[in-house]
Amino acid sequence: MRNLIGIEDFSTEEIDELIEVSKNIISNKEKYLEKCKGKILATLFFEPSTRTRLSFESAMLSLGGGVLGFSSADSSSTQKGETLADTIKVVSGYSDIIAMRHPKEGAPIVAANNSNVPIINAGDGGHNHPTQTLLDLLTISQEKGRLNNFTVGLCGDLKFGRTVHSLIIALSRYENIKFVLISPNELKIPDYLKQDVLDKKNIDYIETESLEENIDKLDILYMTRVQKERFLNEEEYVRLKDVYILDKQKLEKAKKDLCIMHPLPRVNEISTEIDNDPRAAYFRQAEYGKYMRMAIILKLLNVK
């Protein structure tokens, strides 16, 4: 039985296969309408989320399966003091596959150790968010037609931004990827990522605080939100939340074929004035999320 806990659970070939299946779904939706008939997806969201949960549910419904679950820890037995291990043991008896978001890092490993059905990590604190990464890769492949030879700018909260961590790990498997890591000093990427991934694989990267000075070099700009829920200290959040705002003026210096991505939801970091710019890919990216999650469900349930 396979789980998806971190992006490293899939080989590069498997990732490429998931991207191909997603593209096939996009162009042949009707072919997939009954692929998961009779199967149940449990969405266990111990932390609020709209997009990820709905896209998982939409994915399973579009495959002909059913969904059940909860959307906050308040409406689960956690409130009564139940351990995650117990919750998973029970829910794995009610479903064929589980997508779980949990505020604590490493929670999906506990889930996988206690489940009889595949676990999909739909985000664990600031740690990993592999399905977001896979949909990001699908977006890049769709928008740019390839997954190699890029300069990728990652901007905003690179410390707690789990999407960024997983994306760095995934993109570092492809050839000639350079990273421009743009963040305030307090929100730089964790050392373990630098040591274990970037340094280990000799990947070219720079760390900078300036978006303006680097935007002209980028083929892809991945903006992130500074997430209030990751801060233990509110003052620090307030000081850092609006450090980067991408607007028309900053975009003037950018390449004409720049691909602007954002995991959403955004707050102020991307001005709405650029939403209609053809380089703004973030709403298309959100839609690709559904197709990638359909491909992931099919793979983990071993449905051809």
Q: Judge whether 161 and 43 are in contact, CB under 8 Å.
A: no
Q: Distance between CA 298 and CA 59 in Å, rounded?
A: 10
- Catalytic residue numbers? 51-52, 80, 101, 129
> Looking at 84, 122, 158, 182, which residue binds another protein (CB under 8 A)?
84
Q: Is 83 in the site for another protein (CB under 8 A)?
A: yes
Size of the site for another protein (CB under 8 A): 19
Residue 34, helix vs strand vs coil: coil
Q: How far is the CB of 250 from another protein (least distance, A)?
A: 32
Dist CA 304 CA 298 (whole Å): 7
Of 8 and 213, nearer to another protein (C-beta) is 8
- Quick check: helix, strand or coil at residue 42? strand
161 binds another protein (CB under 8 A): no
Q: Give the β-pairing of 177-182 and 205-208.
A: parallel
Residues 6+ apart with CB under 8 A from 282: 260, 261, 262, 264, 266, 270
Q: Does 4 bind another protein (CB under 8 A)?
A: no
Verify binding: residue 102, another protein, rule CB under 8 A.
yes
Instruction: Name the residue with tokens 């000075």.
Output: 213
Q: Where in 112-131 is the site for another protein (CB under 8 A)?
A: 124-127
For another protein, the closer of residues 38 and 81 by Cβ is 81
CA distances from 114 to 16, 108, 110, 233 (A): 29, 10, 6, 34
Among 91, 107, 117, 300, binds another protein (CB under 8 A): 107
109 binds another protein (CB under 8 A): yes
Binding track over 23-62 against another protein, x by CB under 8 A:
----------------------------------------
* Interface ranges with another protein (CB under 8 A): 83-85, 102-107, 109-110, 124-127, 191-192, 196, 232
